[in-house]
């Protein structure tokens, strides 16, 4: 998904949700700590800048960075949250581009794999 986003822009900034933000909407801690996730994402050749995502409010982030495109997975398209975000971004001329979900890549899959491995070895 990050590679596809970079193909559609000149400078790609990726927001990595803080551990606290993830816990607030997923109701569990991330598999990898925030600093580890930021290091992983920052090491990708397609990423120009990594920032902490401290809020789900994209307008707050826009006020700081003034981006003209927002990329997100299409699994959120049509949700009440993203319908509102689309309307907000439209008022400032910012386009939201939904990219297809990468099959088999998710934190849920990582969690499931870890649990299966733990059960197998214990």
CATH of the domain spanning 2-121: 3.40.50.620
Rounded-to-integer distance, Cα 107 and Cα 93, Å: 32
What is the pLDDT, as a whole number, of residue 105? 67
pLDDT digits (tens, 9 = 90+) for 99-116: 997 776 666 777 777 777
What is the pLDDT, as a whole number, of residue 70? 97
- What residue ranges do the domains of the chain occupy? 2-121
Q: What is the pTM of this model?
A: 0.82
Quote the tokens at residue 26.
């997923």
More confident residue, 61 or 110: 61
pLDDT digits (tens, 9 = 90+) for 32-49: 899 999 999 999 999 999
Share of the chain above pLDDT 90, in %: 69
DSSP 56-105: S-HHHHHHHH--SEEEEEGGGTT-HHHHHHHHHHHTTT-EEEEE---TT-
* Mean pLDDT, residues 55-61: 93
**Which range has the worst mean pLDDT, 4-8, 84-88, 112-116?**
112-116
What is the pLDDT, as a whole number, of residue 90? 95
Average pLDDT value over all residues in the chain: 90
What is the pLDDT, as a whole number, of residue 69? 97
């Amino acid at each position: 998904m990050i590679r596809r986003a970079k193909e559609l822009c000149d400078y790609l900034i990726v927001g990595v949700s803080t551990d606290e933000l993830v816990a607030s909407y997923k109701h569990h801690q991330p598999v990898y700590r925030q600093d580890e996730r930021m290091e992983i994402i920052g090491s990708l050749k397609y990423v120009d800048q990594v920032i902490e995502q401290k809020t789900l409010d994209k307008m707050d982030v826009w006020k700081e960075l003034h981006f003209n495109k927002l990329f997100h997975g299409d699994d959120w398209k049509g949700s009440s949250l993203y319908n509102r975000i689309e309307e907000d971004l439209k008022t400032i001329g910012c386009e939201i581009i939904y990219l297809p979900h990468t099959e088999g890549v998710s934190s849920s899959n990582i969690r499931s794999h870890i649990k299966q491995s733990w059960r197998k070895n214990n």
